[in-house]
Amino acid sequence: MAEHVYRTGFGYDVHRLEPGNQLILGGVTIPSDGIGTVAHSDGDVLAHAICDAILGACALGDIGTHFPDTDERFRGADSMVLLAEVQRIVEGAGYRIINIDATIVLERPKIAPYRTRIEESIRTRLNLGEHDVSVKATTNEQLGPVGAGHGIAAYAVAMLRR
């Protein structure tokens, strides 16, 4: 069977939002009037979706395979540390991350003022170039639990090269 040079992966994550928690996206703490994600780790849905996209591109499982929420070692884990570990895993399998494109779905707060910092945080963690990480945000038009402000979701696509 022919070896593929380029691989694409897709990732998705969703978390509930509740008062008394932090909102962390791509390693950046976002001011959110005390409403943040409920999760076993730090709840960074963006980092989790990116992890799944990267792992999926190489058919190496998902974030739950490598960092299960049943393992107390990962309680409160910094998701950007997990992202760096995912990069180490795929590089060990002979792959290099080319680019990341991601979308955050959240009614509030608005992400636009933090987008550049979030992209820079991800680029720095993955040692990628200025135009290799794109983060966008949208609302869910007040539809469903995310639209009602009860949750946040993130989607990500990663391209890797063997």
| CATH code, 134 | 3.30.1330.50
Task: Assess if residue 11 is contained within a domain.
Answer: yes
Domain residues for the domain of 97 are 6-161
Residue 1 domain-assigned (yes or no): no
Q: Which residues pair with 140 in a beta bridge?
A: none
Residue 138 phi, psi dihedral angles, 5° rounding: -150, 170
Question: pTM (2 decimals)?
Answer: 0.95
Q: How do residues 108-160 score in pLDDT, each as one tens digit?
A: 999 999 999 999 999 999 999 999 999 999 999 999 999 999 999 999 999 99
Res. 67 pLDDT band, cuts 50 70 90: confident
Q: How buried is residue 55: exposed, middle or buried, by Cβ count under 10 Å (0-12/13-18/19+)?
A: buried
Q: Which residues contact 51 (CB under 8 A, 6 or more apart)?
A: 11, 62, 63, 79, 82, 83, 86
pLDDT value of residue 2 = 57
- Residue 138 domain-assigned (yes or no): yes
Calpha distance 95→87 (Å, rounded):
9
Residue 77: per-residue pLDDT = 79
Alpha-carbon span 64 to 11, nearest angstrom: 12
